[in-house]
């Protein structure tokens, strides 16, 4: 089996104005993550609506979810360090995103025919279950199945460039493999632990002679209350404010009396 | 025409002015509602490009395993910048579905059905801004600045988060599911009350929400 890439850590510059929108009060935002899955493309800079949003994203790296306003965004990809010029990128798309939804935007295929593959990501899972899907992003690999070693296929006939629907399974450990439809193993994934309350995407990337897998967590479920906490036990002294009001009224009364006196005395 | 003396000739107006002075003095000595004043113009967010280190967990032989980050069940919260050190209670929801909070003013509460600090997603810790007698544990939360550190500990681990955003949100506009929602990196959210007191609702009109992201994992 091919050694799956060792740990890599990448500095990415994020323009946080985009992120900031996500945590502000209104909920009209979507989650978008970008995945570099073009094996021969250099590291890239990603511009959203003309703003540098991700910097130096290398092959096999994802950005994590960025919060972006719902609507249509001009997403453009440049070789890292290239000066931005509208419409001059190696890849451009008008990406429409809906509030409350999450998306994976993968730059796929070889550089000469680089393309976006976009999928909506699931932000829910039945309690105690696990969810998984696979993406075929290896440009020259044939259609594959993903299934249990010596058992049934969970996903059949996954083709480049495509991302399957999710399959919901019992949480647990599975001996999986990527295989050709005739049963020939392409890549073993033995002892795959799929945790409860978690949603996964598993992408097959790189060219067929060095096929490898990138796995991402799309979502982990957790509880949320219905309302914000009540975090003040104190109350401003109501009687005091009442007195201030009365005081104000008296002042007004007093002043008007003076004015009245000035005029008419 | 003879000029009217400022204070009038009769005793009635003198009494009025004396009253007025009394009110003014009272006002100076005791601000009516300091919390609402302190939280009036708060809020910031990181708007400059910042280096974010994306660390993929060292893969085992199987790249799907070891993807999830494990969090902690926090015991202690420390915010050196505002001199806060508090015990963390683990609480869920009240009968009405709100995030529950401690019934004292020294402790804070972690919403334990939600995300754990250190796990991907927003872990939420709330504390009171004031008590009947005066300031409570999160009295100075509105003083936090961009980049201030927030430490969350259990017996074994200390997680350090860095403040990146503060906002004061009217209760009706607060997007609860987003504040307690999933993010693909570990976040910590601190909440306390802000804004003016709404006597009809029996709580303040706004919530001060501070967002911080994990910077190191020891």
pLDDT of residue A6: 27
Give kind and range of the element (H or E) at residue B25: helix B11-29
CA–CA gap between residue A21 and residue A118 (Å, rounded) = 22
A12 and A116, same structural domain? yes
- Which residue range forms the structural domain that includes residue B23? 1-30
B41 and B80, same structural domain? yes
> Is B20's pLDDT higher than 80?
no
Q: Is A254 on the interface with B (CB under 8 A)?
A: yes
A23 and A103, same structural domain? yes
B38 and B105, same structural domain? yes
> Is A113's pLDDT higher than 90?
yes
CA–CA gap between residue A46 and residue A64 (Å, rounded) = 13
Share of chain A above pLDDT 70, in %: 79
**CATH code, A161:** 2.60.40
Q: Which of B51, B64, B185 sits opposite A13 (nearest CB)?
A: B51
Highest mean pLDDT pick, A79-83, B4-8, B69-73, B106-110: B106-110
pLDDT of residue B36: 84
Residues of A (199-228) whose Cβ lies below 8 Å from B: 200, 202, 212-217, 219-228
Structurally, chain A folds into a number of domains equal to 2
B73 and B23, same structural domain? no
B94 and B10, same structural domain? no
SS3 (DSSP) at A38: coil
SS3 (DSSP) at A25: coil
B79 and B11, same structural domain? no
| Contact yes or no for B130 and A234 at CB 8 A | yes
The ipTM estimated for the assembled molecules is: 0.78
A89 and A136, same structural domain? no
| Contact yes or no for B101 and A230 at CB 8 A | yes
Cβ-based burial of B25 (10 A; exposed 0-12, middle 13-18, buried ≥19): exposed
Quickly state the pLDDT bin for B191 (edges 50, 70, 90): very high
Residue A167 domain-assigned (yes or no): yes
Q: Which of A123, A190, A253 sits opposite B182 (nearest CB)?
A: A123
Tokens of A51: 């703003």
- Which residue range forms the structural domain that includes residue A154? 122-221
Share of chain B above pLDDT 70, in %: 78
CA–CA gap between residue B113 and residue A197 (Å, rounded) = 13
Tokens of B127: 């504390």
The arithmetic mean of pLDDT across residues B83-101, rounded, is 97
B8 and B63, same structural domain? no
Closest approach of chain A CAs to the CA of B66, in angstroms? 9
Tens of pLDDT, residues A51-95: 999 999 999 999 999 989 999 999 999 999 899 998 899 999 999
Cβ-based burial of B28 (10 A; exposed 0-12, middle 13-18, buried ≥19): exposed
CA–CA gap between residue B149 and residue B85 (Å, rounded) = 13
* Residue finishing a domain among A54, A87, A121: A121
| Average pLDDT across chain A, whole number | 84
Using the CB atoms, write b or e for A133-149: b if 16+ within 10 Å.
bbbbbbbebeebbbbee
- Chain A residue numbers touching B71 (CB-CB < 8 A): none
For B147, half-sphere exposure in the C-beta direction (CA atoms, 13 angstrom radius) is 3
- Chain A residue numbers touching B203 (CB-CB < 8 A): 230, 232
Structurally, chain B folds into a number of domains equal to 2
Best to test chain A binding among B20, B28, B62 (most A CBs inside 10 Å): B62
CA–CA gap between residue A205 and residue A189 (Å, rounded) = 14
- Chain A residue numbers touching B42 (CB-CB < 8 A): none
pLDDT of residue A256: 56
Cβ-based burial of B41 (10 A; exposed 0-12, middle 13-18, buried ≥19): exposed
Tens of pLDDT, residues A212-224: 999 999 999 999 9
Q: Is A127 on the interface with B (CB under 8 A)?
A: no
| Contact yes or no for B67 and A200 at CB 8 A | yes
- In sequence order, the 6+-apart residues with CB closer than 8 A to the CB of B1 are none
In 10 A of CB B89, how many CB atoms?
20
Please give the model's pTM, rounded to 2 decimal places. 0.79
B72 and B52, same structural domain? yes
> Is B139's pLDDT higher than 50?
yes
pLDDT of residue B16: 55
Whole-Å CA distances, A261 to A127, A157, A247, A256, A257: 77, 96, 21, 8, 6
> Is B161's pLDDT higher than 90?
yes
SS3 (DSSP) at B172: helix
Q: Which of A7, A16, A189 sits opposite B45 (nearest CB)?
A: A16
CA–CA gap between residue B129 and residue B31 (Å, rounded) = 16
Residues of A (43-102) whose Cβ lies below 8 Å from B: 52, 55, 61-65
Q: Work out whether the CA dihedral A159, A104, A82, B54 comes out positive or negative.
A: negative
């Amino acid at each position: 089996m091919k050694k799956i890439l060792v740990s890599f850590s990448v500095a990415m510059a994020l323009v946080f104005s985009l992120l900031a929108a996500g945590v502000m009060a209104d909920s009209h935002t979507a989650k978008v993550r970008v995945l570099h899955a073009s094996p021969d493309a250099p590291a890239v800079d990603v511009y959203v609506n003309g703003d540098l949003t991700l910097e130096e994203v290398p092959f096999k790296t994802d950005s994590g979810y960025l919060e972006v306003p719902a609507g249509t965004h001009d997403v453009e990809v440049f070789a890292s360090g290239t000066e931005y010029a509208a419409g001059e990128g190696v890849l451009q798309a008008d990406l429409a995103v809906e509030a409350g939804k999450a998306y994976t935007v993968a730059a796929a295929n070889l550089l000469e025919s680089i393309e976006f593959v976009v999928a909506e990501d699931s932000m829910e899972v039945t309690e105690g279950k696990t969810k998984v899907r696979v993406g075929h992003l290896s440009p020259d690999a044939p259609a594959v199945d993903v299934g249990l070693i010596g058992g049934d296929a969970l996903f059949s006939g996954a083709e480049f460039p495509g991302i399957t629907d999710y399959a919901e399974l019992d949480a647990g450990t599975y001996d999986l493999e990527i295989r050709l439809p005739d049963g020939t193993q392409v890549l073993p994934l033995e002892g795959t632990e799929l945790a409860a309350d978690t949603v996964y995407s598993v992408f097959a990337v790189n060219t067929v002679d060095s096929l490898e897998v990138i796995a991402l967590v799309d979502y982990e479920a957790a509880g949320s209350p219905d309302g914000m906490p009540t975090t003040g036990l104190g109350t401003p002294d109501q009687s005091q404010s009442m007195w201030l009001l009365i005081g104000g009224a008296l002042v007004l009364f007093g002043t008007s009396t003076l004015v009245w006196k000035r005029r008419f005395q | 025409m003879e000029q009217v003396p400022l204070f009038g000739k009769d005793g009635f107006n003198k009494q009025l002015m004396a009253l007025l002075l009394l009110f003014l003095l009272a006002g100076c000595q005791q601000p009516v509602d300091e919390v609402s004043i302190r939280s009036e113009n708060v809020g910031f967010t990181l708007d400059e490009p910042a280096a974010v280190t994306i660390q993929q967990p060292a893969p085992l032989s199987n790249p799907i395993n070891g993807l999830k980050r494990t969090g902690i069940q926090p015991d202690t919260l420390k915010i050196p910048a505002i001199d806060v050190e508090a015990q963390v209670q683990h609480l869920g929801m009240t009968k009405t579905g709100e995030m529950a909070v401690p019934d004292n003013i020294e402790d804070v509460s972690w919403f334990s059905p939600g995300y754990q600090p250190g796990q991907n997603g927003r872990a939420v810790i709330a504390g009171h801004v004031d008590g009947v007698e005066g300031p409570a544990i999160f009295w100075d939360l509105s003083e936090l600045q961009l980049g201030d550190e927030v430490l969350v500990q259990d017996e074994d681990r200390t997680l350090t988060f860095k403040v990146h955003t503060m906002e004061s949100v009217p209760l009706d506009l607060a997007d609860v599911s987003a504040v307690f929602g999933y993010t693909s990196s570990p976040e910590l959210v601190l909440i306390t009350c802000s804004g003016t007191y709404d006597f009809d609702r029996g709580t303040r009109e706004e919530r001060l929400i501070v967002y911080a992201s994990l910077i190191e994992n020891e």
